[in-house]
Amino acid sequence: MSPLISVAPMMDWTDRHCRYFMRLLSPGAVLYTEMVTAAAIEHGDAGRLLAYDPSEHPVVVQLGGSDPAQMAAAARRCSDAGYDEININVGCPSDRVQSGRFGACLMANPTVVADCYRAMQDVSRVPVTVKSRIGIDDNDSWDFLRRFVETVGNAGCRTFVVHARIAILDGLSPKENRTVPPLDYDRVARLKAEFPEFWIGLNGGLDDADVVARELERFDGVMIGRRAYHDPYFLAELEERFLSGRPAPNRRDVVEQMFPYVERELAAGERLNRITRHMLGLFANQPGARAWRRYLSENAHRAGAGTQILREALDALPQAA
């Protein structure tokens, strides 16, 4: 799979409800799950953790872990579940992830990542890929990044998505790590030039369509993060410009297309606000955006709340929205 536009794996955000909603906005973007740990798949409810709607394809599951055998067992489950690709998390900087010896801290141990890759690809029917940073802490050099990619590439990996910031593992929060370290797109571009045989995708700070167009001239693909969540209609605009050429849909129509899904999920015991929380940004920068957010935030959590809440929120919008 060679995605041109993808949506980043974002903890607490890109769950299955979010992905279903985003798929309505962009039929062609590749969607990523939240990170799922290999340990959770081994010891938890794997069926629930790996659940997705068929409409989400193409969809990638991101796995976190550092034990090759455990990662291989998780990869087998993901492959059997029908995911289109399995991605190894080598970019998350949170304390919880570090304590488990995976995420961004694994950049300091490329042989471990290589061992995980080999074990996972051996049992998977779909490609295994890697998402990393450009460095960690004081390991902020071109040689460090090149050595990491070379080592994992020698194990057989051919696809790398690179968040163009270092991760500061001691001193910055995960939120700060998404904004404080400066972006360095040129370092990632140098990676593509040095390893032309690898598929290299760029992630980090891509929140403008013209910037996306510019960077697609240098990279095989781009990954959109926070802009896709806070202003999801951006995905529809990218779909029209870079993917299918499909005219961006009317926002109201997208909400109505969610009704059957919402009704199905509510009948299965889900709460409305677990779904609508991902829809709050749909009318970003449009007339009535604040009223839309407020109405859903104040009413979707109520007992018995159903699609009528979405209908009422729509009806409260000005006709121009």
Q: What single DSSP character describes residue 172?
A: S
The span from the CA of 57 to the CA of 190, in Å, is 31
- Give residues with Cβ within 8 angstroms of 38, minimum separation 6: 63, 64, 65, 67, 70, 71, 73, 74
CA atoms within 13 A on the CB side of 90: 32
The span from the CA of 2 to the CA of 58, in Å, is 10
Query: In whole angstroms, how far apart are CA 27 and each of 24, 222, 261?
Result: 6, 16, 16
Number of neighbouring beta carbons within 10 Å of residue 226: 15
Buried b (16+ CB within 10 A) or exposed e, 89-118: bbbbbbeebbebebbbbbbebbebbbbbbb
Q: Looking at the annotation, which residues are catalytic?
A: 92
Distance of CA 130 to the CA centre of its chain: 13
Count of positions (residues) in the chain? 321
The span from the CA of 94 to the CA of 96, in Å, is 5
Answer whether 316's CB lies under 8 Å from 309's CB. Answer: no
